[in-house]
A and B are shown apart, each in its own frame.
Chain A
């Protein structure tokens, strides 16, 4: 039985069924913000492998085929952007100012808030690249002297935060333009934020994908400078 529980086919089936349940929960709740399929699927799958005592590495190896397609899905974000290309006109300058400014605010605020609440220097460095898309945040954490695997976990957490709360916070802040909403969501919650943005509106999704790319670039360039000034 142990062999079955640790086999890729069981772990894939568990993940796919959990995601399917997540979709049903979303539909049943008529799209309640907390009922994000990704969140429901993580809770169900994570809870099950904890209960069955399957270790994280075995799980990750078993579902590698899913993780693999994340790269192609990132490439695929070009398609909504291509459909929205006409809407980029007159938007390039706001975008190139707002996204790097967002990076500066994200990094400075996470560093200062963490220090004020008593975090040690290693934890501060680990937190600093959390807004960048996961593969980039891992690299940046390593060069900044943080703990890369913890940074990756935190990047996933801010992604989920964006998927759950992003649209509501933007509405509360009275940001209604679909392009601005997409930029903001992709800039703080990368691909997972983009997945929610896409579910809301194609324009929003397209700009979230673009913003994710720009944020990765701006964070890579600015993080060493900001950390040198702040720490």
Chain B
């Protein structure tokens, strides 16, 4: 599978499209790109099993390039939040308390549960 950046990006966009189509057909409660991620993962696993060096695949190189600057792609959505600051101000206390509190509880619960179960599994 020779080729450069455009070929790699094509693979990524086609996987996203396959994801969108699958979501549309099955009514799955997931975004198309997340399903596309699973599609690409399966494709790469199949290629590795057939003896390809997937690190040289254009899709893998394009993915590395995009992910290196993943934060750039969130800037437009973040700037959109600036327009909402006024609306958030009216309910600032419940929003800040609920969002921050829930975020801390969530991150700690996932971290600790994973650690606990993973230890159990290693011991078994």
Contacts and interface: CB of A to CB of B under 8 A. Distances in A.
| Best-surrounded residue of B19, B39, B95 (most CB of chain A within 10 A) | B95
A50 B82 contact: yes
B78 interface: yes
A221 B30 CA distance: 10
Contacts of B50: none
A37 B70 CA distance: 10
A185 B66 CA distance: 20
A110 B109 contact: no
A106 B105 contact: yes
Interface residues of B, number: 75
B71 A195 contact: yes
Interface string A105-132: 1110111011001110001000100110
The secondary structure that dominates the B interface is helix
Contacts of A154: 95, 99
Given A94-B118, A123-B95, A41 B75 contact: yes
Contacts, number: 324
Contacts of B99: 110, 127, 130, 154, 157-158, 161
The secondary structure that dominates the A interface is helix
Contacts of A162: 103, 107
B53 interface: no
Contact of B109 (A95, A105, A157): A105
Interface in A141-156: 149-150, 152-154, 156
A184 B98 contact: no
Nearest to B36: A75
B78 A216 contact: no
Contacts of A95: 114
Interface residues of A, number: 112
B37 A94 contact: no
Contact of B106 (A106, A127, A191): A106
B88 interface: yes
Interface string A63-97: 11011011111111111111001000011011101
Interface string B33-73: 11011111100110010000010000110111011011111
Interface string B1-40: 0000000010011011001000000000111111011111
B71 A114 contact: no
B106 to A, nearest CB: 4
A85 B42 CA distance: 11
Interface of B: 9, 12-13, 15-16, 19, 29-34, 36-41, 44-45, 48, 54, 59-60, 62-64, 66-67, 69-84, 87-88, 91, 93-95, 97-118, 121-122
Q: Give 4 closest A-B pairs by Cβ, nearest first.
A: A220-B29, A76-B63, A46-B82, A74-B33
Interface of A: 15-16, 18-19, 22, 36-39, 41-42, 45-47, 49-50, 55-56, 59-60, 63-64, 66-67, 69-82, 85, 90-91, 93-95, 97-99, 101-103, 105-107, 109-111, 113-114, 117-119, 123, 127, 130-131, 133-136, 139, 149-150, 152-154, 156-163, 166, 169-170, 173, 175, 177, 179-181, 183-185, 187-189, 191-192, 194-195, 198, 205, 209, 211-213, 216-217, 220-221
7 contacts: A45-B75, A56-B79, A114-B94, A131-B102, A156-B77, A185-B107, A188-B110
